[in-house]
């Protein structure tokens, strides 16, 4: 079974530039998450999708971050403009939807390491 795919693995940009990350979840997983992990901290949820709808984006800094999952499969997370404090690993995760129940075990991709200079 193929895992969660993310690209790119690494990205270095200057502050005020824009950047985009891509994620393809495990086939058949209806629920997709983006997490931000700052060095020395645990992952923090940014946004949760179920199919192509947003379930929770309360922690997403909407003035600069945006995310979409247009066809209910892969997803893109964008930052525009980037700030120094956005330097982090951006993790995508997915989980199975069984009937109306979202499985609580999340499968994570390898992440994108973003450095903002």
Partner 1 sequence: DQQVKQNSPSLSVQEGRISILNCDYTNSMFDYFLWYKKYPAEGPTFLISISSIKDKNEDGRFTVFLNKSAKHLSLHIVPSQPGDSAVYFCAATSRVGQLTFGSGTQLTVLP
- What whole-number distance in Å separates Cα of residue 82 and Cα of residue 66? 12
Nearer to partner 1, 30 or 82 (CB): 30
* Distinct helix (H) and strand (E) counts, the chain: 0, 13
CB of 91 to partner 1, least distance (A): 6
Q: How many residues bind partner 1 (CB under 8 A)?
A: 27
Residues 11-70 that bind partner 1 (CB under 8 A): 31, 33, 40-45, 48, 55-56
Distances (CA, A) of 22 to 5, 19, 41, 50, 60: 8, 10, 23, 17, 17
Residues in touch with partner 1 (CB under 8 A): 4, 31, 33, 40-45, 48, 55-56, 91, 93, 95, 101-111, 113
């Amino acid at each position: 079974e193929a895992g969660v795919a993310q690209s790119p693995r690494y990205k270095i940009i200057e502050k005020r530039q824009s950047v985009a990350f891509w994620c393809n979840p495990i086939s058949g997983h209806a629920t997709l998450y983006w997490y931000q992990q700052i060095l020395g901290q645990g992952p923090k949820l940014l946004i949760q999708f179920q199919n192509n709808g947003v379930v929770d984006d309360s922690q997403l800094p909407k003035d600069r971050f945006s995310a979409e999952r247009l066809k209910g499969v892969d997803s893109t997370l964008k930052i525009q403009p980037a700030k120094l404090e956005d330097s982090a690993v951006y993790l995508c995760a997915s989980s199975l939807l069984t009937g109306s129940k979202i499985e609580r075990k999340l499968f994570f991709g390898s992440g994108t390491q973003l450095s903002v200079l």
